Chain A
Amino acid sequence: MSVDLFRLWVYLAATPLLGLTLTFVAYQLGLWLAARAGGHPLVNPVLIAMLAIAGLLAATGTPYRQYFEGAQFVHFLLGTATVALAVPFFDRLAALRKRALALTAGLVAGNVVALGSVVLLMTTLGAREATLRSMVPKNVTAPIAMGISESIGGIPTLSAVFCVLTGVLGAATGKLVFDAIGVRDLSIRGFALGAQAHGIGTARAFYVSPEAGAYAGLALGLNGIVSALVLPPLVSVLR
C-alpha cells in the first residue's frame, strides 16, 4: 500500500498538474486562514502558501524545479498582471495629477531612507560587497531588480530573494507602520506599499481596497522605471 502510494506520488510529482494544483490549493488555504484572522496583515496568504508548499516539497524531497514545471503557468501571469495595472492607474489619472507632488516627494524620501539604511547597516555589520550590491534594488519589482543587480555588480538571484523577503515583510508590517505614524489616507498607504514592497505589497493593497491597490500599482511601476534609470549610474558614481 505504502509502496503504491509512493509510486503514485513519484508519478504525480513528475506531471505539471501537481505543482499547479498545489499552488491553487495552498492559496485557498492562505485565503481561508487570512479570513479567519479577520484580514490581519501578519496572516498573509502569500506567506502561508509559500511556507506550506516549501514545507511539503522539503518533506517529500521534491525538487523545486519539478514543482515549478506546474507552477510556471501561474508565475507567467505576473507579467500579464503587470500590464493590467495600467487600468486602475488610468482610471485615477485626474486624482493622481492633483497628488503628483506629494507622491513624488514620498517616493524620493522612502528610497533615500531605504537605500541609506541598507548601505549603513550592511557596511557597519560587515557584509560582503556583493551582498550589499545585491540588496540595493530590494524594493524594486523582482524582474527589474534582477536587471539592476546585474548591472551594478550584484547577484541577480540573491536580489530576487531580497525582493520577495522585502515584499512579504512590507505587506505584513505596513498596517502597523502606517497606524504608528498616523497616516490614515488609503491612497497614500497603498502608494507606500507599492513603492517599498512592490508586487507583494501591491497584492496586499488590493486585498484591502481597490483604491489602495491602484495607488500601489502606480508606485510599483513608477519606482521600477525610475530605479532602472537612476540606480545603475548612481552606484557607479558613488563607488
Chain B
Amino acid sequence: MHIKGTASAKIQVMNAALTGFTWLLVLQLAGEAVVRLTGVPLPGPIVGFVLALGALGLAPPLRAPLRAAADALLPHLSLLFIPAGVGVVMYLSAIREDALAIAAALVVSTLGGLAATAWVAERVARWQDGRSRARAEDPQ
C-alpha cells in the first residue's frame, strides 16, 4: 500500500514535469515569435524567460508543473553545454594569432570580474544589513 502510494506520487511528479516541459516549449516558441515580430535584439529563449516569469506570476496553476520541469532540467544544465564546448575545442587550433593577448585577457578579466562582482555585492549587502540593524535598534 505504502509502496503503491510513493509510486503513484512519482508518476504524478513525472506527469507534472511533462506538462511543465510542454509549457516551457510553448513559452520558448512564444519568445521566438515575439523576437521575429518585434525585432528586439534578444534571443528567443531570453524573451521566453521573461514570458515565463509573467506566466508564473499571473497563472498560479502553471507553477507546480513548471517547477517540476525546471527541477528535472536545471540540475543537468552542464550536459547541454557539451556539444558547443566540443566545437570550441576543435576550433581552438585555429586561433594562433593574438594567442598570448587572448589568454592573458581571458584569465585576468574572468578572475577579476568574478572577484569584483562578489566583493562589491557582499560589501553593499553588509552595509545594507548594518544600516537596517541600526535602524531596528534605534527607531528614531
Interface residues of A (CB under 8 A from B): 19, 23-24, 26-27, 30, 45-47, 49-51, 53-54, 57-58, 64, 67-68, 71-72, 74-75, 77-91, 99, 101-103, 105-115, 117-118, 121-122, 125-128, 131, 135, 138-139, 141-144, 147, 151, 157-158, 160-162, 164-170, 173-174, 177-178, 180-181, 183, 185, 188-189, 191-193, 195-197, 199-200, 202-204, 206-207, 210, 213, 217, 219, 221, 224-225, 228-229, 232
Contacts and interface: CB of A to CB of B under 8 A. Distances in A.
A105 B124 contact: yes
Contact of B42 (A75, A173, A219, A228): A228
A27 B82 contact: yes
B46 A81 contact: no
Contacts of A112: 116
Contacts of B87: 64, 68
Contact of A90 (B45, B51, B56, B116): B56
Interface in B38-58: 41-46, 48-53, 56-57
Contact of A169 (B79, B107, B116): B107
9 contacts: A27-B79, A83-B49, A84-B74, A109-B121, A114-B109, A147-B42, A181-B119, A203-B81, A228-B42
B134 interface: no
Contacts of B111: 173, 177
A111 B45 contact: no
A203 B78 contact: yes
B66 A71 contact: no
Q: Which of A83, A90, A143, A185 has the most CB of B within 10 A?
A: A83
Given A90-B53, A183-B119, A221-B46, 14 more contacts: A79-B44, A79-B48, A80-B25, A83-B28, A99-B121, A103-B121, A106-B122, A113-B113, A121-B105, A121-B108, A131-B97, A161-B88, A166-B110, A217-B74
Contacts of A161: 88, 91-92, 95
B18 to A, nearest CB: 13
B80 interface: yes
Tell me whether chain A's interface is mostly helix, strand or loop, or mixed. helix
B44 to A, nearest CB: 7
Interface string B76-104: 11111111111111111001011011101
B3 interface: no
Contact of A113 (B69, B116, B125): B116
Contacts of B75: 206-207, 210
A174 to B, nearest CB: 6
A118 B28 CA distance: 33
Contacts of A181: 115, 118-119
Q: Which of A26, A91, A125, A213 has the most CB of B within 10 A?
A: A125
B12 interface: no
Nearest to B132: A98
A67 B89 CA distance: 13
B19 to A, nearest CB: 13
A175 B44 CA distance: 32
Nearest to A90: B56
Nearest to A207: B78
A86 B110 contact: no
Nearest to A171: B78
B82 A86 contact: no
B8 interface: no
